[in-house]
Amino acid sequence: MVVIETPRLLLRQITFDDVDALSEVLCDHENMRFFPSRFERKDVEEWIQKNLRRYAEHGVGGWALVLRPEDKFGGYCGLVQREIDGAR
């Protein structure tokens, strides 16, 4: 599902077709330096599954950023509910 589309950018739901490209981002030590740990490929697959549930349950999640016109995966962004100090 496309969320936003411009001549330079496409924002769409992440799918399992994105595992390789997303792994390059989430499994990279430098990219993940502020996360508790770097992802492994299985973690990326689980992350995609979580986002598929988030889309279904909340209508939002992590979106794939696709750079135009070459249709290259550029990263992800999105909205995710978090629990902080016991509150959502």
Could you report the per-residue pLDDT of 14-63, keeping only the tens digit for each? 999 999 999 998 999 898 899 888 899 999 999 999 999 999 998 889 99
At 48 the pLDDT is 96
- Residue 78's nearest CA partner among 87, 69, 59 is 59
pLDDT value for 70: 92
pTM assigned to the model: 0.82
d(CA 18, CA 13) in angstroms, rounded, equals 10
Residues facing residue 76 across a β-bridge = 64
pLDDT band at 13 (very low <50, low <70, confident <90, very high): very high
Structural fold of domain 2-78: Aminopeptidase (3.40.630)
pLDDT at 44: 95
